[in-house]
Amino acid sequence: EVQLQQSGAELGKPGTSVKLSCKVSGYNIRNTYMHWVNQRPGKGLEWIGRIDPANGNTIYAEKFKSKATLTADTSSNTAYMQLSQLKSDDTAIYFCASRGYSSSLFAYWGQGTLVTVSS
């Protein structure tokens, strides 16, 4: 069974960074891309970027190029996203998502990590 288990809620002060994790079980993360998506309170979904864990190649949405950094550790089957220079506008739930071993994009999602930015 494929599971994407995300790390717990984060409270970050403005100007600091947080690093979120997404630990995968049920498939080898080297086999497919990992995507990250956010959802601000009461708002829709927004694609942040994706990483190819096999080689570390990344693609970001333009507005997240200086905000998010995606990495992956194939030895622990875990993907990471670091958010830097936190602002109140970064308060959101952040999801990781992948196709797992299926042929269907975004088939599997983590449960989400709430990041709250507050002084």
**Which of 19, 30, 73, 105 lies at the binding interface for another protein (CB under 8 A)?**
105
Angle formed at CA 106 by CA 102 and CA 107, multiple of 5 degrees: 45
DSSP 9: P
- Whether 100 and 107 have beta carbons less than 8 Å apart is answered as yes
| CB burial string 46-57: b at 16+ within 10 A, e below | eebbbbbbeeee
62 binds another protein, rule: CB under 8 A: yes
**Does residue 54 belong to the site contacting another protein (CB under 8 A)?**
no
Length of the chain counted residue by residue: 119
Taking the complex as a whole, how short is the minimal distance between the CB of residue 62 and another protein, in angstroms?
Answer: 8
Candidates 9-17, 20-28, 44-52, 72-80; binding stretch for another protein (CB under 8 A): 44-52
Binder to another protein among 46, 58, 71, 116 (CB under 8 A)? 46
Question: Which residues in this chain contact another protein in the complex, by CB under 8 A?
Answer: 35, 43-47, 59, 61-62, 95, 97, 104-107, 109-112
